[in-house]
Chains A and B, each alone.
Chain A
């Protein structure tokens, strides 16, 4: 039975905010914009806390990589029921270049250091939509992965995961230790209650530097340009189906 679970939580721009591209097209405006925990990370935290409430695991540790403000995200996880937090400090240029490869290296190192038996992440972050961190972390640790999980049940020494795939639902059984990534229908995250927010203040958040974990943060990617999606153009009305097919062929779509 897994004792310690690591849950990764990412601080992203709030889903309800209107995104604006910076005038120099180097990225997206983040200054003064409302941020919150990635919705899939919320689902991951909820699943971990539920497992703890069912007494199937002993401790939930919330981890976030980023600047000082990432601590707010960890606090939210603590208020939802995580036991303690780890803030991996990454700021400035390193933070701008932080991607799934670097984060998965950090998580793998932490999993070994903390002797975690289960890592639960959100399936992807709503800012970069990479959908890579869980998979890379499992590969680095050589652990089995249960991704796009919509149902998780802990058995003797294994985990049964129902995955949402293109064709429908796939059920697999994987050994522990393992990495799971949470999909939308896994659960409905709870609101933090006022008493829990107050209790969370007493919970500890440890500070760690990537260098301490022996992780190299250099990015293998370089962002060249960020643009808004093209403006939607007017459509055309056609009289017959033949016209429609003709126009589609002309535009090279068919």
Chain B
């Protein structure tokens, strides 16, 4: 960068100031160009993964992003869009092809959900929760498309299932079930045996079973494109043939699913943070205050660079965890937990800071950054205590209904 070296004097100082300003202005262009380059999500991916990612980004930009505000404000459950996503193969990404999935790896899945999340976090999170995989040999003779899962605080769960002949009678309730009331099948962790994790079994309950009812639709801060209701069981009879695995295997089934779920939720957070950083950068380049673009402000430049750094660090952790899980490595479980813990927190902070950079505009619902922040706030809460991962089960004819 050429900087004037005229000796000090009024004119000299003006030249130097002008030159510095040129550096700063070009500096912004450099930073924004570098940030775009640094944040490119396709580094280190295979050609095939780049293709998957491209389809996911296109789908997110064309089919989801234009509607995400409306889905949020009107609390619309976008069934048609999710169906189209499933048709492209986004429904059961790492489910085996023999049972209708796409048979891809955990890393492929993470990349795809990260890209989809830039279009709508809530809908992508829903798609990621309701995917299927076979873990255990299923006793169940019928084939379902389970679309919701009930989760709870593992070992202390209270929903009871008493064996009566060839049925279990279920009593209890589960709070905060995503999709509750709108989906056709519920996979329930319940206590069939004694205290502790060994007494838990996993049952599949179909909508319409007598004794199965739902609480009111909850009003949430975010995740508004998915309905959330309590699921209530009152002497609800469930055939023994609807049990997944053996009695007492419920906890294991749940735990096995947890790792994948954590990666998926973390991936959704990544997408939101990625979108938010780009929105913040665009805003800084455009918004003028104090006589010049906000992007000229050194503090904001540093802040943006820091946000980008944390985003890339988060992305690397998630992708490593996905690879470890795929390869069944010894550190897979701890990496998945660390990824969920670290990434959901960091990405929320990034979205929050991106909102801050928008100033007052960030607080308006006209701007997408507030929705990203609201939607991923819940990622710091669930999948840690909620065992929503039990969906790593099952085997539908089609991935989504």
Q: Which residues of A contact B (CB under 8 A)?
A: 16, 32, 36, 72, 75-76, 79, 191-195, 197-198, 200-201
A191→B47 contact, CB < 8 A: no
Q: B84-101 toward A: CB 8 Å interface, digit per residue (1/0)?
A: 000111100100010000
Specify which chain B residues have a CB less than 8 angstroms from the CB of A79 in the assembled complex: 51
> Closest CB-CB distance, B365 to chain A, in whole Å?
24
Is there a chain A Cβ closer than 8 Å to B59's Cβ?
yes
Is there a chain A Cβ closer than 8 Å to B380's Cβ?
no
B37→A32 contact, CB < 8 A: yes
Contact of B88 among A16, A36, A76, A194 (CB under 8 A): A194
B55→A194 contact, CB < 8 A: yes
Specify which chain A residues have a CB less than 8 angstroms from the CB of B47 in the assembled complex: 72, 75
Specify which chain B residues have a CB less than 8 angstroms from the CB of A194 in the assembled complex: 52, 55, 88-90, 93, 102, 104, 112
A191→B55 contact, CB < 8 A: yes
Contact of B59 among A72, A191, A200, A201 (CB under 8 A): A191
Q: How large is the interface on B (under 10, 10 to 19, 20 to 34, 35 or more residues)?
A: 20 to 34
A201→B102 contact, CB < 8 A: no
CB-CB nearest in chain A for B87 = A193
Specify which chain A residues have a CB less than 8 angstroms from the CB of B61 in the assembled complex: 16
Is there a chain A Cβ closer than 8 Å to B48's Cβ?
yes
Q: Could you tell me the distance between the alpha carbons of A36 and B59 in the complex, rounded to whole angstroms?
A: 15
Is there a chain A Cβ closer than 8 Å to B320's Cβ?
no
Q: B61-93 toward A: CB 8 Å interface, digit per residue (1/0)?
A: 100000000000000000000000001111001
Is there a chain A Cβ closer than 8 Å to B58's Cβ?
yes
Q: Could you tell me the distance between the alpha carbons of A195 and B93 in the complex, rounded to whole angstroms?
A: 10
B55→A192 contact, CB < 8 A: yes
- Other than the given A197-B48, A197-B55, 16 more pairs (CB < 8 A) read A32-B33, A32-B37, A36-B54, A75-B47, A191-B55, A192-B55, A193-B55, A193-B87, A194-B90, A194-B104, A194-B112, A195-B89, A195-B97, A197-B52, A198-B48, A201-B48
Specify which chain B residues have a CB less than 8 angstroms from the CB of A72 in the assembled complex: 47, 50
Q: Could you tell me the distance between the alpha carbons of A16 and B47 in the complex, rounded to whole angstroms?
A: 22
Specify which chain B residues have a CB less than 8 angstroms from the CB of A201 in the assembled complex: 48
B87→A192 contact, CB < 8 A: no
Q: Could you tell me the distance between the alpha carbons of A148 and B41 in the complex, rounded to whole angstroms?
A: 37
> Closest CB-CB distance, A126 to chain B, in whole Å?
16
CB-CB nearest in chain A for B37 = A32
Q: Could you tell me the distance between the alpha carbons of A195 and B52 in the complex, rounded to whole angstroms?
A: 10
Specify which chain A residues have a CB less than 8 angstroms from the CB of B54 in the assembled complex: 36, 76
> Closest CB-CB distance, A104 to chain B, in whole Å?
29
Specify which chain A residues have a CB less than 8 angstroms from the CB of B59 in the assembled complex: 191
The answer to whether residues A76 and B51 also contact, given A193-B89, A194-B90, A194-B93 and a CB cut-off of 8 A, is yes
Specify which chain A residues have a CB less than 8 angstroms from the CB of B58 in the assembled complex: 191
For this complex, 8 residue pairs linking A to B, each with C-beta atoms less than 8 Å apart, are A32-B37, A72-B47, A192-B55, A193-B89, A194-B90, A195-B89, A195-B97, A201-B48
Q: Could you tell me the distance between the alpha carbons of A36 and B47 in the complex, rounded to whole angstroms?
A: 14
Q: Could you tell me the distance between the alpha carbons of A185 and B112 in the complex, rounded to whole angstroms?
A: 30
Specify which chain B residues have a CB less than 8 angstroms from the CB of A16 in the assembled complex: 61
Q: Could you tell me the distance between the alpha carbons of A79 and B55 in the complex, rounded to whole angstroms?
A: 10
Specify which chain A residues have a CB less than 8 angstroms from the CB of B51 in the assembled complex: 75-76, 79, 192, 197, 200
> Closest CB-CB distance, A14 to chain B, in whole Å?
10
Specify which chain A residues have a CB less than 8 angstroms from the CB of B87 in the assembled complex: 193
> Closest CB-CB distance, A85 to chain B, in whole Å?
14
Q: B221-259 toward A: CB 8 Å interface, digit per residue (1/0)?
A: 000000000000000000000000000000000000000
Of the listed residues B54, B93, B104, the one surrounded by the most CB atoms of chain A closer than 10 A to its CB is B54
CB-CB nearest in chain A for B89 = A194
CB-CB nearest in chain A for B104 = A194
A191→B48 contact, CB < 8 A: no
> Closest CB-CB distance, A21 to chain B, in whole Å?
13
Of the listed residues A72, A198, A201, the one surrounded by the most CB atoms of chain B closer than 10 A to its CB is A198
Q: Could you tell me the distance between the alpha carbons of A194 and B113 in the complex, rounded to whole angstroms?
A: 13
> Closest CB-CB distance, B118 to chain A, in whole Å?
13
> Closest CB-CB distance, A202 to chain B, in whole Å?
11
Q: Could you tell me the distance between the alpha carbons of A16 and B58 in the complex, rounded to whole angstroms?
A: 11
Q: Could you tell me the distance between the alpha carbons of A194 and B59 in the complex, rounded to whole angstroms?
A: 12
> Closest CB-CB distance, A8 to chain B, in whole Å?
20
Q: Could you tell me the distance between the alpha carbons of A76 and B54 in the complex, rounded to whole angstroms?
A: 10
> Closest CB-CB distance, A141 to chain B, in whole Å?
33
> Closest CB-CB distance, A29 to chain B, in whole Å?
10
Q: Could you tell me the distance between the alpha carbons of A192 and B90 in the complex, rounded to whole angstroms?
A: 12
The answer to whether residues A191 and B37 also contact, given A75-B47, A79-B51 and a CB cut-off of 8 A, is no
CB-CB nearest in chain B for A190 = B88
CB-CB nearest in chain A for B88 = A193
Q: B29-66 toward A: CB 8 Å interface, digit per residue (1/0)?
A: 00001000100000000011011101100110100000
Q: Could you tell me the distance between the alpha carbons of A75 and B102 in the complex, rounded to whole angstroms?
A: 19
Of the listed residues A16, A193, A197, A201, the one surrounded by the most CB atoms of chain B closer than 10 A to its CB is A197
CB-CB nearest in chain B for A200 = B51
> Closest CB-CB distance, A203 to chain B, in whole Å?
13
Q: B286-312 toward A: CB 8 Å interface, digit per residue (1/0)?
A: 000000000000000000000000000
Q: Could you tell me the distance between the alpha carbons of A94 and B149 in the complex, rounded to whole angstroms?
A: 59
> Closest CB-CB distance, A193 to chain B, in whole Å?
5
Q: B106-138 toward A: CB 8 Å interface, digit per residue (1/0)?
A: 000000100000000000000000000000000
Contact of A195 among B33, B50, B102, B112 (CB under 8 A): B102
